[in-house]
Amino acid sequence: MSQKKYWKGLEELANTPEYQQSVANEFNEELPLDLSDNLLNATTPRRDFLKFLGFSTLAATVAASCEMPVRKAIPYAIKPEDIIPGVPNYYASTFVDNGECVPAVVKTRDGRPIMIEGNTLSKITEGGTSARMIAATLSLYDKTRLRQPHVDGKAVDTFDAVDNAVISGLNAANGAIYLLTGTIISPTSEQVIAQFLAKYPGAKHVTYDPVSYTGILLANEVSYGSRMIPNFLFDKAKTVFSLGADFLGTWISPVEYSKGYTKARKIVSKDIKDFEMNKHYQVEGMLSMTGANADERATCRPSEYGKVAAALHAAVTTGAAANTGSKNLDKLIAKAAADLKKGNGLVVSGSNDVNVQIIINAINHAIGANGTTIDFSTPAKNKKGIDADMVALINAMNAGQVGALIMHGVNPAYEYFEGDKFLAGLKKVKTTVSFSDRLDETAKECKYVVSDHHWLESWGDTEAKVNHFSFIQPTIAPLFKTRAFQDSLLKWAGATGTYHDLFNAYWVGKLGQATFDKALQDGIIEPATQTVSGASFSGNVADAIAKATAVSSKSEYEVEVFQTASLGAGGAWSNNPWLQELPDPITKVAWDNYAMMSPKTAKEKFNAELTSINQVDPKKHVVKITVGKKEVSLPIIVTPGMHHNVIAVAIGYGRDKGVGLAAADLGKNVYPLVGFNGQSFTYSADAKVEKTDAFYPVAVTQTHNSAEHRPIIYEYTLEEFKKNPYELIDERREAIEHYLTAPNEEHHEGHDAYGKGDKFDAKKFEEDFRKNGTHYPVHESMGLHWAMSIDLNSCTGCGACVIACHAENNVSVVGKDRVIKVQEMSWLKIDRYFSGDPNDPDTIQTVFQPMLCQHCDNAPCENVCPVSATNHSSEGLNQMAYNRCIGTKYCANNCPYKVRRFNWFDWNDADCFEDNLYSDGRRDDINDDLTRMVLNPDVTVRSRGVMEKCSFCVQRLQDAKLTAKKEGTPLKDHHVSTACQSACGGGCITFGNVNDKESAVFQDRYVNNKERLFYMLESIHVLPNVSYLSKIRNTDVVMSATEKDEVYNKHI
Amino acid sequence: MHLKYESFIREPLVDGNKTYKDVTADICRPIEQKPSKLWYFGLVVSLLFLGFGAFSVFWEVYWGIGVWGINHTIGWGWDITNFVWWVGIGHAGTLISAILLLFRQHWRTGVNRAAEAMTIFAVMCAGQFPIFHMGRVWDAMYVLPLPNTRGPLWPNFNSALLWDVFAISTYFTVSLLFWYSGLIPDFATIRDRAKTKLRKRLYGLASFGWTGTAKNWQRFEALSLVLAGLSTPLVLSVHTIVSFDFATSVIPGWHATIFPPYFVAGAIFSGFAMVNTLLILVRKIYHLEEYITMGHIEAMNKVIVLTGSIVGIAYLTELFMAWYSQVVYEQEAFKWRVLGPYWWSYWAMMTCNVVSPQFFWFKKLRRNIVFSFILSIVVNIGMWFERFVIIATTLYRDYIPSNWSYYSPTWPELGFYLGTFGLFFTCFLLFSKYFPVIAIAEIKFVLKTTGDKAHEDNLALEEKSLEEFIHIAEHAH
């Protein structure tokens, strides 16, 4: 083949060197990119421009979208053995507050304690809780807590600096060394204190209880020979007579007493014929939470407690008729005396007067309570303070006889009635040490502040009753540079070991390692069987009667100082926003203290009314209360059930800025109104009460007091109920009978289709109503169907469930201003209704009703949501899709129960707007990084503008389903509980799968308590999944059923 | 041409012996003149209100609905009250343009343009409230049935609030189209009279190249009739659906079958009152007394007394039903409405809506311009209270007494309301300056038959004998 060569152009033919070079270079044109130095000056070519444009747009987009929040999650590099991220651990511990002691189980998630429940192993409290106990997690993460030891108000970095100074101060003390503590119920701490006292000869230990029980301690010393508080067995009492003791709310050991009390009132209505329920008489000056639960109640002035006690004593011993000046009271005493004499009676008194308590002991002796309802074999140790010791200490301080004062668990500058005198004395003491966790009223005046751990960070033990031990174990490493006060004392006593060593040695020595480990895990050691033994009573009753009845009031008004169920004696609780926002059970006021006053007195003397527009106006009249030389001005909260001459004011308010944002300057400190009678503190005093022109806004969460005779509450007397247990069933039938049969059937035929009396088929009745009350087809309920039953008879109104709900579900705190605006967020609230005549406090009856989302199967909220953000689960839950909610609030309007809560503001820094977090200066700490550690990671924190409400703790339900699935068993009651249910010591709430015939809620509804069962607003066919059980009062008359129900007649 | 004979007893719809030329000149005058100082003043005030409203809304969107006075018992307050109020006002326009057109009520020609404009502006104002009452207004598009990647997730077609979205947007669209199609020949008139290029161009664009041919007119008439037919059911449906927001609920005081007719009557009532308020001002300011005559005002007043009485009967029926039903919640709800802490709002409603319109049974008062003006405002105050009574005073005391509460508005709520007044009057002032406030073409149509001029022409016929008259009538063409 010829090698013909074809050339493509003249260049190729010529084949110059230039041409060869250009062929070698494939892309021989210059790139149109100016990379020279004068780039910036160059006129950019078109393609460059496009490149730059493209690059910069991309860069801008990337930069704009790269603003990612810094995530602070740090994975475990080496996973701790017992922590699985996302899986909670539970530790047994013990809640201790001013001698009150409740065994607890603490839930921790990823090393953070987030929820506290009761320890069901304890026979004392049986898993009961209180609002304060559950709120303790929030106090742990309190931003105001001191993060270092302080000297002269300034932080120091090491304990050594403090220790050396304190030790030299103690050694150089030119007067007695005093250790001032609250009641210590820890055996090992007592050892530590003994060691400390031994090191410094002449050192003394004084115990001070901010709310004193000296009266009862001293009286028992007289009557029974020892300063102790016996074991009150409320569960065994058939008749309880309380003379001003708030034993369900605040008195000595309320969780324990509530448990026993509610047990004695539990009703299984199918057994009603031979059922006995305890009968509770209450005589008091103010309306307390306990008084609100009483079957029969009469009022007197607190100064008349002696006379009432004497009259009751006379009635039970000689049968003499009482003559107290009040007919109601006389009648009540006669009735109570008759009941007490039948046996199994129990008389308690909240009076701090020794003589009154001696008379009470005499009565208990006379009715044979000792050994039946009062046990002396395992007396309680909850309170030990003797007031005279404290007064003597203050006097010694002022006389310059005290060289050093070390304080733990007390804050006398605030909670001592002569705080000024204490502070004056404190100035004369050279070495002053406080173990307070914050710079409170006392600590800020102390030279050294060496903060103690929070109990959730501590080791410890308690002996609330003889031989009943409960352990405290840490659930988190100390957050700050704090030290157990026992360690400090040991250090200052020159001991080498730590408290933990001592604690271990003590218990291992006592129990052996294995038993101790088991005890720590269980949290408690209690005797296997409880023995009840009496005690021999002795003492000069006549003398006590003479002294007690000699007390009388000379002024028109008496002021009574009381503790609220939420804040108690004050302490650090005042700075707990959950507790501050928990409405008082009686007044339904949050965030303040106030002067409680009867409607008659308020209207006639102070121009403050309970009706019409004044109900809802937050501005309340202010009165000036003067006791001796001390005066406080407080707003009036008109409260039915108050004695006309009694004004009640609560402690725990009026705190210093050092206590924290939530507490500072809120309300007034009323401790100064407390008196001292030479033997014990008196919590009531003659007072002058004057009208002022001022008004003060108060946050009241419930402004209407009557249930308006609506079928939302049913209550019967025990006698009525025994006579005709089926009255409520008949009422339900009457209300909905037209809807029980399908429209084309004869309806009168259906009336008796469900059986009469105990043959009543509650299940079929409900199913027929469900099916025939609507035009629409009914959804079959298969598998799980969640349901709740609430027993109104067991609810004492304490509010533990409300706080449990806050803790479990990250419910927002909104602050006083927003509570005033009715914008609070609580998913669960306790409604309180009065009936009776407000002008006659003895007739007032109170009902508490926990109110939460009713999870209606035919929910009116669901069909009105334009975007289906709220919808129904196949398990009967009314659920919220927060992401979908646009916040029209239509669902809330259409909710007959008004239990939906709207996120009015950005409460938790959870929305997408910057810097618009709601702030009121009072709840702001709640959004601190530290405080947010309390949030439950299983529950979404809701953003602004979305609706929320009770979810039946859906996260717990999911967890329970998974557990059951893993076990391979059907889901049963023991798998699941809602937060409110576990918190309730009274066992008021039953929850479970109502499709399971063995579940407690099924049994409660359709077998055991069908006679008492009702649904709120049943007739509107919303088919709620929450049912209630009617309240049974062991009394002669239910006021709301009478014409004398003036609260209803006047619609107040 | 056929002969139309109208009785002399019948009041002319256009006074002052106008010719076609006069009509055009009179109505175009405000557009072609420089606006008065009063107009500028009005515009500045309106813009200030609008600005304050915008700030109030910004405040609410930024901080949260909590800045309003509503609470967890009373979830709707001034927001939805104002929404229903404005929607109600927006009813008169369509009623006048559609239903009165179908019923051949010629007096509508004098007022329909302004009434329709008012409708559109009122619906614009109304729309603001449901949008900005949302907690998360930035997610407002969830209410639209848009195809989406969220599942797909659709709105809840069971919700009356969703029906509202459709009802209001449909109503707004149809009203806007109706209004604009009517404006086309008039824009062409202005274009033809324009002396500047810009004006000619702009009105030329707005008139879609209208040339006034017979075909143009034929199609125009056809479109008007179709739109009238479309909007007639809307007059009834919109407020019916708004009433469903309440009627489909379970709350005593809301859950009532009487709501649809009651709401529609109330809407017409307030709409006509608002038309009266505006027209009395417009005729005075633009000297249009000869086109918007006393007769027009009187006709409106007659509708007001009729609808006011219907509303009054509805109020009494509600009370009767509450008693007759023997449902305790229903009875108490009305008791608390009438006698509870909000008694003043109920009685303000009763006085303004039921008692005050009864004065219009007297012809003297019906034809009294000052009285009509005052009463038109009183009626709208009353209608505002009606919505407030229905919303706030129903919610404040419903089933469970522990929830009972009270509500008073805060400044952002007040500001929002004032802001919608700003929006409304800004729009209305711009409209009255740049658009013919009376339908030129339509008024010319009635001029021939019912104007002063026509009456004069008819006078000649009166002279004739019966035979002659019959002859003329038979041979008229």
Exposed (0-12), middle (13-18) or buried (19+): which is A717, by Cβ within 10 Å? Answer: middle
Give the span between the Cα atoms of A562 and A584, in whole angstroms. Answer: 12
Give the span between the Cα atoms of A607 and A587, in whole angstroms. Answer: 19
State what percent of residues in chain A have pLDDT above 70. Answer: 95
If asked whether residues B455 and B444 sit together in one domain, one would say no
Give the span between the Cα atoms of A255 and A984, in whole angstroms. Answer: 10
| Exposure on the CB side of residue A826, measured as CA atoms within 13 A | 29
Which are the contacts of B209, defined by CB distance < 8 A and separation ≥ 6?
none
Mean pLDDT, residues B6-18 taken together? 73
Q: Is the pLDDT of residue A854 over 90?
A: yes
Structure tokens at A847: 């009902």
Q: Chain A window 857-896: which residues touch B at a Cβ cutoff of 8 Å? A: 860, 863-868, 884-890, 892-894, 896
Chain pair A-B, CB pairs under 8 angstroms: 176
Q: Is the pLDDT of residue A612 over 80?
A: no
Asked if the structure places residue B8 within a domain, the reply is: yes
Give the span between the Cα atoms of A34 and A37, in whole angstroms. Answer: 9
Category of B74 on φ-ψ map: left (φ > 0), alpha (ψ -120 to 50) or beta: beta
CA A110 to chain centre: 24
Q: Would you call B401 and A704 a contact, using CB atoms and an 8 Å cutoff? A: yes
| Exposure on the CB side of residue B222, measured as CA atoms within 13 A | 6
Give the span between the Cα atoms of B206 and A424, in whole angstroms. Answer: 88
Query: How do residues A541-591 score in pLDDT, each as one tens digit?
Result: 899 999 988 888 889 999 999 999 889 888 889 999 999 999 999 999 999
Mean pLDDT, residues A445-471 taken together? 92
Mean pLDDT of chain A: 89
Asked if the structure places residue B230 within a domain, the reply is: yes
B133, B250, B404 member nearest A896 (Cβ): B250
CB B92 within 8 A of CB B268: yes
Q: Would you call A889 and B161 a contact, using CB atoms and an 8 Å cutoff? A: no
Q: Would you call B75 and A896 a contact, using CB atoms and an 8 Å cutoff? A: no
Helix (H, G, I), strand (E, B) or coil at A536: coil
- Give me the interface pTM, i.e. the ipTM: 0.91
State what percent of residues in chain B have pLDDT above 70. Answer: 97
Q: Mind telling me how many Å the CA of B382 is from chain A's nearest CA?
A: 23
Structure tokens at A463: 């002996």
Which one-letter amino acid corresponds to residue B15? D
Give the span between the Cα atoms of A726 and A758, in whole angstroms. Answer: 8
Nearest CA in chain B to A814: B66
If asked whether residues B9 and B83 sit together in one domain, one would say no
Nearest CA in chain B to A919: B63
Nearest C-alpha neighbor of A649 from the set A581, A582, A703, A587: A587
Q: Is the pLDDT of residue B109 over 90?
A: no
Category of A494 on φ-ψ map: left (φ > 0), alpha (ψ -120 to 50) or beta: left
Mutate to test the interface with A, among B60, B330, B400, B407 (most CBs of A within 10 A): B400
- Assign domain A715-1041 to its CATH architecture: 2-Layer Sandwich (3.30)
Q: Would you call A1016 and B400 a contact, using CB atoms and an 8 Å cutoff? A: yes
Fold equal for A229-380 and A553-700: no
Q: Is A818 on the interface with B (CB under 8 A)?
A: yes
If asked whether residues B218 and B256 sit together in one domain, one would say yes
Look at A933-947, B89-103, B377-391, B443-457 and tell me which has the smallest mean pLDDT: B443-457
CB B304 within 8 A of CB B371: no
Alpha helices for B286-439 (secondary structure H): 294-325, 328-339, 343-350, 363-366, 369-395, 411-434
Nearest CA in chain A to B254: A894
What pLDDT band is residue B1 in, cutting at 50, 70 and 90? very low
If asked whether residues B105 and B129 sit together in one domain, one would say yes
Asked if the structure places residue B85 within a domain, the reply is: yes
Query: How do residues B298-326 score in pLDDT, each as one tens digit?
Result: 988 999 999 999 999 999 999 999 999 88
Query: How do residues A291-325 score in pLDDT, each as one tens digit?
Result: 999 999 999 999 999 999 999 999 999 888 888 88
**Topology (CATH) of A553-700:** Barwin-like endoglucanases (2.40.40)
Look at A926-930, B243-247, B459-463 and tell me which has the smallest mean pLDDT: B459-463
Q: Is the pLDDT of residue A71 over 70?
A: no
| Exposure on the CB side of residue A709, measured as CA atoms within 13 A | 16
In chain B, the N- to C-terminal Cα span, in Å, equals: 4
Give the span between the Cα atoms of B121 and B435, in whole angstroms. Answer: 14
If asked whether residues B361 and B338 sit together in one domain, one would say yes
Helix (H, G, I), strand (E, B) or coil at A529: coil
- Per-residue three-class SS string for A727-750: HHHHHHHHHHHHHCCCCCCCCHHH
Q: Would you call B162 and A866 a contact, using CB atoms and an 8 Å cutoff? A: yes
Q: Is the pLDDT of residue A69 over 70?
A: no
User: Residue A781: what pLDDT?
Assistant: 84
Q: Is the pLDDT of residue B168 over 60?
A: yes
Mean pLDDT, residues A64-88 taken together? 71
A884, A902, A1020 member nearest B135 (Cβ): A902
Query: How do residues A187-200 score in pLDDT, each as one tens digit?
Result: 999 999 999 999 99
Q: Is the pLDDT of residue B5 over 80?
A: no
Structure tokens at A714: 């049913």
A702, A849, A866 member nearest B155 (Cβ): A866
Kindly report the number of other CB atoms within 10 A of residue A941's CB atom.
Answer: 16
Mutate to test the interface with A, among B61, B154, B158, B250 (most CBs of A within 10 A): B250
If asked whether residues B100 and B10 sit together in one domain, one would say no
Domain range A229-380, CATH class: alpha beta
Asked if the structure places residue B391 within a domain, the reply is: yes
Q: Would you call A896 and B251 a contact, using CB atoms and an 8 Å cutoff? A: yes
**Chain B residues within 8 A of A821 when measuring between CB atoms:** 66, 69, 71
What domain count does chain B have? Answer: 2
CB B178 within 8 A of CB B97: yes
Nearest C-alpha neighbor of A1016 from the set A899, A873, A938: A899
User: Residue B240: what pLDDT?
Assistant: 93
Query: How do residues A641-700 score in pLDDT, each as one tens digit?
Result: 999 999 999 999 999 988 999 888 889 999 999 999 889 999 999 999 999 999 999 999
If asked whether residues B93 and B206 sit together in one domain, one would say yes
Please report the sign of the dihedral spanned by the C-alpha atoms of residue A514, residue A518, residue A523, residue A529: negative
User: Residue A75: what pLDDT?
Assistant: 67
Q: Would you call A704 and B250 a contact, using CB atoms and an 8 Å cutoff? A: no
Alpha helices for A724-849 (secondary structure H): 727-736, 762-772, 800-809, 816-820
Beta-strand runs (E) in A792-900: 829-835, 845-851, 870-872, 878-880
DSSP states of B292-310: S-HHHHHHHHHHHHHHHHH
User: Residue B45: what pLDDT?
Assistant: 97
User: Residue A309: what pLDDT?
Assistant: 93
User: Residue A42: what pLDDT?
Assistant: 55
Mean pLDDT, residues A89-106 taken together? 92
Query: How do residues A723-776 score in pLDDT, each as one tens digit?
Result: 888 889 888 988 888 888 876 666 555 456 788 777 888 888 898 899 888 888
Exposed (0-12), middle (13-18) or buried (19+): which is A512, by Cβ within 10 Å? Answer: exposed
Q: Would you call A868 and B140 a contact, using CB atoms and an 8 Å cutoff? A: no
Query: How do residues A912-928 score in pLDDT, each as one tens digit?
Result: 888 889 998 888 888 88
Q: Would you call B401 and A708 a contact, using CB atoms and an 8 Å cutoff? A: yes
Mean pLDDT, residues A501-530 taken together? 91
The phi and psi torsions of A885 (rounded to 5 degrees) equal -70, 130
Element (H, E) at A10: helix A10-14
Helix (H, G, I), strand (E, B) or coil at A974: helix
Which are the contacts of B404, defined by CB distance < 8 A and separation ≥ 6?
A616, A703, A704, B73, B396, B397
Structural domain boundaries enclosing B1: 1-14+451-477
Is the model more confident about A984 or about A612?
Answer: A984
Domain spans, chain A:
229-380, 553-700, 715-1041
Give the highest mean pLDDT range of A510-514, A917-921, B18-22, B414-418: B414-418
Please report the sign of the dihedral spanned by the C-alpha atoms of residue A402, residue A408, residue A414, residue A417: negative
Mean pLDDT of chain B: 89
CB A338 within 8 A of CB A312: no
Q: Would you call A866 and B398 a contact, using CB atoms and an 8 Å cutoff? A: no
Q: Would you call A904 and B73 a contact, using CB atoms and an 8 Å cutoff? A: no
**Chain A residues within 8 A of B63 when measuring between CB atoms:** 905-906, 916, 918
CA distances B231 to B178, B274, B303, Å, are 9, 20, 19
CA distances A592 to A573, A641, A699, Å, are 13, 20, 8
CA distances A1032 to A263, A725, A1026, A1041, Å, are 14, 11, 19, 13
If asked whether residues B277 and B204 sit together in one domain, one would say yes
Give the span between the Cα atoms of A756 and A284, in whole angstroms. Answer: 43
